Amino acid sequence: MGHAYTPGLTVTERTVIRKRRLLPIPGTVLAKAGDRVRAETVVARAELPGKVHVVNVANLLGLAPDEIQDYLVKKEGEAVGQDEVIAENKPFIRWFKTEVRSPIRGKVESVSTITGQVLLREPPRPLERLAYVDGAVVDLHPGQGVTVETSCSMVQGIFGIGGETWGELVMAVGSPEKTVSVSQLLPAMKNKIVVGGAFLGIETMKRAREIGIAGLVVGGIHDKDLRELLGYDLGVAITGTEQVGFTLVITEGFGTIPMAAKTFELLARHAGQKASISGATQIRAGVIRPEILIPQTTDSPGAGPAGRAVPATERSGIRIGDHVRIIRDPLFGRIGRVTALPTDLRQIETESVVRVLEVKFADGTSAVIPRANVEIIEGE
Amino acid sequence: MTASAQSSREMTAAQPLRVIIATDCGSTTTKAILIEKLGNEYRQTHRGEAPTTVEAPFEDVTRGVLNSFAELEELSGRKILDGERIITPNRAAQGEPKVGVDIYISTSSAGGGLQMMVAGAVQSMTGESAQRCALGAGAIVMDVLASNDGRLPHEKIERIRSLRPDMILLSGGTDGGTVTHVVELAEYISAAEPRPRLGMSYQLPLIYAGNKDARDRIKEILGGKTSLVITDNIRPVLERENLGPARTKIHDLFLEHVMAQAPGYKKLLEWTGAPIMPTPAAVGLIMETIAKKENLNLIGVDIGGATTDVFSVFGGVFNRTVSANLGLSYSVSNVLAEAGLANILRWVPFTIEEQTLRNRIKNKMIRPTTIPQTLDELQIEHAIAREALRLALAHHASLATGLKGVQQERTISDIFEQTASGKSLIDMLQLDLIVGSGGILSHAPRRVQAMLMMVDAYEPLGVTRLSVDSIFMMPHLGVLSTVNEQAATDVFVRDCMIYLGTCVAPIGQGKEGERCADYTITFGEGRSPERGTLAFGDLRLFPLGRDDRAQIELRPAKQVDLGEGRGVSVTREVRGGEVGLLLDGRGRPLQLPANLEARLAALTRWHRAVDLYPGKS
């Protein structure tokens, strides 16, 4: 059997990341190669075709579909205003006149003499792509967007909801095992990224929304609170478009789980700095994990294109001494170091025969765990 | 079958195949198997696997394929590769028996498989036919668009625009019927200007398989905006479906457009000696082949991490459905959302707080590669699997139906039995065989666990045989059957299928402990017959080996039916397997006690009766 796949999440003080900031449809690139950009800078813009509305003129005027051309006041390609007449019949007595009005402002897209439909299209909507992180434009993709590079500290979460946002990093608690209470969220945290410890509940989330907190980063939450927040039971972990008032990133999992000390300490060191976060998660082909990026404020040696981050997928496997998180009950959330990697297969309680490893915890105890049930904490 | 598959079959029929290598490029793992002709029969001899490399940083599917070959080389001692070239044919004739293979074939579901949107004029008629056509071709159906689907025109257009399918199948109208509805759908698709999922540089493939009188209009509307292919109507008359030509076109376009856009596939297409098939299409093909060969009614299920595929063949009619969001890792949370907590908890033989269970399920969703480490965790996964299997079969039964909208002749005797058209083809009493596949079933620590999961989820009626796919090689065998049917059948029977045994389940309900049926089981030579009374609430297991058969005579209570009518005795020959003969007296429909304590006691008793779990059972 090939090497066991052991997923890992990056927690690193210094790395260089590149973000492709592309439009979903072709448009205009506004930034130039070498430009310094801020998270809120518009780097590319496109016009999203407007919504299409269908009006069945034949039905409304009581005509056969192939007759409608003669009754149209507006022809294909012409602009129309809201409530403007687009078709009318021509009765002998004016009282019997029937008019068909446009439900929208836009233009006549097409006319069908088979179905008797007229398709109207709303004006295009501008679509802007922002830089999302403070950094430099290092690559242009004509008609599509740019690549922004930044030297930053990086934390990958395990799950999140909500889209990209940014703000000043603020610590709500003093240690990673603390729970964030409602009273710890203050009005001064508006538009900021607030870091908690092991857990925060639905009441705290509601308070965050009231205050206008931009983002929350915490060790764990309860699934039932997530359901209340979203208003539905999340079935598949493809997220990033939710609009609950803030972006949420959980670093450990569901339940009350102290944030890994390394993660908490890194975030605490950067309190007061600007961070960009995204809750977008996709746990299927092409894994996307939520992230917290803290761009470095001053240029320093080692930063720049040469210091490219090493993607987690390039790791060859797990090694003795690696820092790991246990990601399945009964020791879910515990963090320790790998002390042995036996090559032989072992039978576990379920009677499955699997590859295992031995982990030693900070309190001196140790455990034998299936290799599939640990996650390497990446980064130096 | 595509034209190229046909020519490949002709080509390979001419030269005998002795060594075959086959891969299935799944979304996470590429699985390779080696099949060799040993004496007069083909056997699967070795297996290798490697992570699939469609995504960054590799973005070339052939890397994973080569890695899986490298593992096969290591395990089998056969030299398959010369650098990055597959050595064909095998060099036995040149005195090098361990060098080369005769053919390489593959299936693929990498990068999310084949994702389609289908459209039909009327949802329950051409809409369903289009759906069956796409599903049978191995696609995931993202949405079914129909004139009467209840959405407003602008909502339909927005939906088409927001979905990015690999291709669209447009049907509607019988030949010579109305053209208006299908043209209307074409206008919506045109207005939405749909774009393909992969690549920005090519037009979205669209297959038109509707009223032939509308073809010119469809060309006018969609010819310039899509890569339009026109084929025979899938519903030329209301009474008949004609899915074959459209399915063939789907496979052709899958290869020409979708596969060609996926990273590395151009190279892979050059390597293979037969067209690459979408994985579910290949699994469907092998199931259909076996059902027809042995004249069986069967249900096959492949329960994966993200999706559950169900296949059925009843009366020679093949159907396939995919429940895109029912699975045991990526989609595990969706099983909870769809089944509800109570339905999952009813299978768990201990008490657990709702919050704890919910959090555990979500943790499995976000870390899908983890495995149960404790018995409790295993039992929870098995409980969720039962619900995923049950829901996927219910979904399948709703689509595997006779044609709707067909006029039926009624006689005076039918007045009191008004059966609507479009009745489900799934008849559990006529079912001969259940084939389970997917990690939770194929790799259950005890085979009886797989058997009971399927029995609990499907509630088979009467006498039904059950089996599992040993190492998930049905995709490989499906594509192999297009090249060499004997090789595919040999391996399927000898190496792929693991027969678990037979379940005998009387239909009817009664009080716990009340007589359900008396039984006499007569075994082969040297084994005394078993006689006894099966009571309601009983589960009994009798060992019966894979090659063994037994005669069972059942004399049911007066309200109990064994397929021949209430109270009618039945004698049947039953076949064994790794688990044996299971007599299920829990009643049909199966009812679990509503009271928590009684339910836990019943589950514990049943688990003990079949030795389901270690220790605690």
* Cross-strand partners of A101: A85
Same domain, B237 and B88: no
Same domain, B353 and B477: yes
CATH code of B25's domain: 3.30.420
Please state whether beta strands B308-314 and B317-323 pair in parallel, antiparallel, or not at all (unpaired): antiparallel
CB contact B178 to A (< 8 Å): no
pLDDT tens digits, residue range A58-88? 999 999 999 999 999 999 999 999 999 999 9
The CATH number of domain A52-121, selected from 3.40.720, 2.40.50, 1.20.58, 1.20.1070: 2.40.50
Same domain, B303 and B451: yes
Q: Do A51 and B157 touch (CB under 8 A)?
A: yes
The Cα of B613 is separated from the nearest Cα of chain A by a number of Å equal to 8
pLDDT tens digits, residue range B442-500? 889 999 999 999 999 999 999 999 999 988 889 999 999 999 988 999 999 889 999 99
Residues B566 and B572: beta-carbon distance below 8 Å? no
Greatest CA separation for chain A? 98
Q: How confident is the model at residue A1 (pLDDT cuts 50, 70, 90)?
A: very low
Q: Do A233 and B336 touch (CB under 8 A)?
A: yes
Same domain, B154 and B208: yes
pLDDT exceeds 90 at position B597: yes
The Cα of B535 is separated from the nearest Cα of chain A by a number of Å equal to 31
pLDDT exceeds 60 at position B581: yes
**What residue spans in chain A does CATH classification 2.40.50 cover?**
52-121
Provide the pLDDT for residue B408.
52
Nearest to A348 by CA among B375, B566, B194: B375
Same domain, B88 and B118: no
Nearest residue in A to B180, CA atom: A115
DSSP-derived 3-state class of residue B88: coil
**What residue spans in chain A does CATH classification 2.30.30.30 cover?**
318-378
Residues A24 and B164: beta-carbon distance below 8 Å? no
pLDDT exceeds 50 at position B418: no
Tally Cβ neighbours within 10 Å of residue A371.
21
Same domain, B248 and B106: no
Taking residues B158-169, report their average pLDDT: 86
Please list, in sequence order, all residues whose beta carbon lies within 8 angstroms of the beta carbon of residue B232, skipping any fewer than 6 positions away. B209, B212, B242, B245, B246
**A363-372, B155-164, B213-222: the lowest-pLDDT one:** B155-164
The Cα of A202 is separated from the nearest Cα of chain B by a number of Å equal to 14
Q: Do A327 and B377 touch (CB under 8 A)?
A: no
Number of domains in chain B: 3
Q: Do A2 and B338 touch (CB under 8 A)?
A: no
* Cross-strand partners of B313: B298, B318
B80: alpha, beta or left? (left if phi > 0; alpha if psi -120 to 50): alpha
CB contact B158 to A (< 8 Å): yes
pLDDT tens digits, residue range B112-127? 678 899 999 888 889 9
Nearest residue in B to A287, CA atom: B55
Provide the pLDDT for residue A345.
87
d(CA A252, CA B34): 41
Provide the pLDDT for residue B244.
87
In degrees and rounded to multiples of 5, residue B220 shows phi and psi of: -60, -45
Same domain, B189 and B324: no
Alpha carbon distance, N-terminus to C-terminus of chain A: 29
Nearest residue in B to A232, CA atom: B337
In degrees and rounded to multiples of 5, residue B364 shows phi and psi of: -70, -35
Provide the pLDDT for residue B517.
97
Q: Do A2 and B50 touch (CB under 8 A)?
A: yes
Q: How confident is the model at residue B431 (pLDDT cuts 50, 70, 90)?
A: very high
Provide the pLDDT for residue B405.
65
pLDDT exceeds 90 at position B257: no
Last residue of a domain, one of B88, B110, B132: B110
CB contact B338 to A (< 8 Å): yes
Nearest to A111 by CA among A55, A164, A153: A55
d(CA B343, CA A342): 40
Facing B374 at nearest CB: one of A49, A53, A349: A349
Q: Do A5 and B369 touch (CB under 8 A)?
A: yes
The Cα of B607 is separated from the nearest Cα of chain A by a number of Å equal to 15
Give residue B517's identity as a one-letter amino acid code: A
- What does DSSP assign to residue B257? I
CATH code of B167's domain: 3.40.50.2300
pLDDT exceeds 80 at position B413: no
For residue B413, being part of any structural domain is answered with: no
Looking at beta carbons, which residues of chain A come within 8 Å of B365?
236-237, 283
Nearest to A332 by CA among B513, B372, B559, B295: B372
CB contact B334 to A (< 8 Å): yes
Looking at beta carbons, which residues of chain A come within 8 Å of B338?
235
Rounded to whole angstroms, what are the CA distances from B422 to A49, B233, B299, B371?
A: 41, 20, 19, 41
- Between positions 298 and 317 of B, the ones with CB within 8 A of A are 306
Helix-helix angle B279-294:B474-481, to 10 degrees: 70
Helix (H) or strand (E) holding B29: strand B29-38
Provide the pLDDT for residue A285.
57
For residue B196, being part of any structural domain is answered with: yes
CB contact B361 to A (< 8 Å): yes
Percent of chain A past pLDDT 70, that is, above it, reads 91
Nearest to A243 by CA among A281, A189, A279: A279
The angle at the Cα of A60, spanning A57 to A66, to the nearest 5 degrees, equals 45
pLDDT exceeds 50 at position B567: yes
For residue B163, being part of any structural domain is answered with: yes
Please list, in sequence order, all residues whose beta carbon lies within 8 angstroms of the beta carbon of residue B402, skipping any fewer than 6 positions away. B421, B422, B423, B425
Helix-helix angle B180-192:B215-222, to 10 degrees: 10
Looking at beta carbons, which residues of chain B come within 8 Å of A1?
49, 71
Q: Do A119 and B187 touch (CB under 8 A)?
A: yes
Last residue of a domain, one of B204, B236, B271: B271
Domain that holds residue B449: 298-402+425-609
Token pair of B29, please? 């793992």
Taking residues A240-246, report their average pLDDT: 92
Q: Do A283 and B183 touch (CB under 8 A)?
A: no
Alpha carbon distance, N-terminus to C-terminus of chain B: 49
Using only C-alpha atoms, chain A has a radius of gyration, in whole angstroms, of 28
pLDDT tens digits, residue range A212-228? 999 999 999 999 999 99
For residue B85, being part of any structural domain is answered with: yes
Token pair of A351, please? 């009677």
Taking residues B80-95, report their average pLDDT: 91
Same domain, B100 and B126: no
Looking at beta carbons, which residues of chain A come within 8 Å of B187?
110, 112, 115, 117, 119
Taking residues A101-119, report their average pLDDT: 91
CB contact B337 to A (< 8 Å): yes
B567: alpha, beta or left? (left if phi > 0; alpha if psi -120 to 50): left
Nearest residue in B to A25, CA atom: B200
Among B61, B369, B391, pick the best mutation site for testing chain A contact (most A Cβ within 10 A).
Answer: B369
Report ipTM for this prediction: 0.86
Taking residues A155-172, report their average pLDDT: 95
The Cα of A178 is separated from the nearest Cα of chain B by a number of Å equal to 19
pLDDT exceeds 50 at position B6: no
SS3 breakdown of chain A: % helix, strand, coil, rounded to 5? 15, 40, 45
Nearest to B537 by CA among B447, B601, B596: B601
CATH of domain A158-289: 3.50.30
Taking residues A178-205, report their average pLDDT: 96
Rounded to whole angstroms, what are the CA distances from B586 to A72, A301, B509, B595?
A: 70, 73, 8, 16
pLDDT tens digits, residue range A342-352? 988 899 999 99
Percent of chain B past pLDDT 70, that is, above it, reads 93
Last residue of a domain, one of B252, B271, B290: B271
Q: Do A159 and B366 touch (CB under 8 A)?
A: yes
Q: Tell me the pLDDT of chain B averaged across its residues.
A: 88
Looking at beta carbons, which residues of chain A come within 8 Å of B193?
49
Token pair of B328, please? 């045991």
The Cα of A234 is separated from the nearest Cα of chain B by a number of Å equal to 7
Looking at beta carbons, which residues of chain A come within 8 Å of B263?
none
Looking at beta carbons, which residues of chain B come within 8 Å of A351?
445-446, 614
Total beta-carbon pairs less than 8 A apart between chain A and chain B: 177
pLDDT tens digits, residue range A289-345? 899 999 997 543 334 443 444 444 444 568 899 989 899 989 998 999 999 999 888
pLDDT exceeds 60 at position B310: yes
Nearest to B436 by CA among B423, B452, B420: B452
d(CA B249, CA B193): 22
Nearest residue in A to B615, CA atom: A349
**What residue spans in chain A does CATH classification 3.50.30 cover?**
158-289
Using DSSP, how many helices (H) and how many strands (E) does chain B show? 19, 24
Q: Do A224 and B374 touch (CB under 8 A)?
A: no
Q: How confident is the model at residue B200 (pLDDT cuts 50, 70, 90)?
A: low
CB contact B369 to A (< 8 Å): yes
Looking at beta carbons, which residues of chain B come within 8 Å of A313?
56-57
Q: Do A54 and B71 touch (CB under 8 A)?
A: no
Looking at beta carbons, which residues of chain B come within 8 Å of A114?
179-180, 183-184, 217
Same domain, B30 and B120: no
d(CA B230, CA B233): 9
CATH of domain A318-378: 2.30.30.30
